[in-house]
Chain A
Amino acid sequence: KQEVTQIPAALSVPEGENLVLNCSFTDSAIYNLQWFRQDPGKGLTSLLLIQSSQREQTSGRLNASLDKSSGRSTLYIAASQPGDSATYLCAVKSNYQLIWGAGTKLIIKP
């Protein structure tokens, strides 16, 4: 059974710092992995989707990597801003389902 774990559960850093969020999964047989952002009272926003055949994806200040063999993904945020404060969720796609981690709550202090 696929299980997804995110570490840390919460992170608070000063504005301007670079940071890394971690996601691990137990079954390497995945189709893709997605990173989402969740803001209070709002829906989920997809940030990056990495296909199983890919190693990384980049969008602006965000870079996500995928190492299927070790069951790990990282989300790198460069030059963090207060607007980056949110909960970040990773999800792996197995068949039609997305299996989710519990998220990392990120606070960027001005």
Chain B
Amino acid sequence: GAGVSQSPSNKVTEKGKDVELRCDPISGHTALYWYRQRLGQGLEFLIYFQGNSAPDKSGLPSDRFSAERTGESVSTLTIQRTQQEDSAVYLCASSFRAGLAINNEQFFGPGTRLTVL
């Protein structure tokens, strides 16, 4: 597609339920990133993929969070047993590749606003 897309745009769920957030990166981009932005705060890095592998999962807040990517394309971020503190905007970005290439600009999707009641 022309840009990074994310679905759903908004998700309201009850505490304790599981949610899945989807990201479709720009076609041809091998690197994909997930960030979280809590109200009034900057973005927090969660995880990134190079291809279908996730070399760094250190940003995931807890073991309730997981992510996968298939076909070097779509990625899904899953939050199990959601808590109120999980409420945030979850942003996805993609770039041509990850690593030390200094020109690897990241392009962002519109985000998914998650509200846990």
- Report which A residues bind B (CB closer than 8 A): 4, 31-32, 34, 36, 41-44, 46, 49, 51-52, 89, 91, 93, 95-103
Among B42, B45, B109: residue with most chain A CB under 10 A: B42
Contact partner of B43 among A32, A42, A49, A91, CB < 8 A? A91
Q: CB distance B45 to A42 under 8 Å?
A: no
CA distance A102 to B42 in the complex (A): 4
Contact B100 A95 (CB under 8 A): yes
Question: Contacts A89-B42, A96-B56, A100-B44 given; 18 further ones with Cβ under 8 A?
Answer: A4-B42, A31-B102, A32-B102, A34-B105, A43-B109, A43-B110, A44-B91, A44-B108, A46-B108, A49-B105, A51-B103, A95-B100, A96-B99, A96-B104, A98-B35, A100-B43, A101-B42, A102-B42
Shortest CB distance B21–A (Å): 14
User: Given A43-B4, A43-B108, A43-B111, are A89 and B43 also a contact pair (CB < 8 Å)?
Assistant: yes
Interface size on B, residues (CB 8 A): 26
Q: How far is the CB of A72 from chain B (nearest CB, A)?
A: 17
A98, B45: Cβ atoms closer than 8 Å: yes
Residues of A within 8 A of B35 (CB): 98, 100
Cα distance, A44 to B94, chains bound together (Å): 12
| A42, A46, A98 interface centre (most CB from chain B within 10 Å) | A98
Nearest-neighbour CB distance to chain A for B48, whole angstroms, equals 6
By beta carbon, the residue of chain B nearest A95 is: B100
Give the distance in Å from the alpha carbon of A44 to the alpha carbon of B4 in the complex.
11
Listed A/B pairs (24) with beta-carbon separation below 8 Å: A4-B42, A31-B100, A31-B102, A41-B110, A42-B110, A43-B4, A44-B91, A44-B108, A46-B105, A49-B105, A51-B102, A89-B43, A91-B43, A96-B31, A96-B48, A96-B104, A97-B45, A98-B45, A98-B106, A100-B43, A100-B44, A101-B42, A102-B40, A103-B42
Q: Please give the distance in Å from A34's CB to the nearest CB on chain B.
A: 8
Contacts of A43 in B (CB 8 A): 4, 91, 108-111
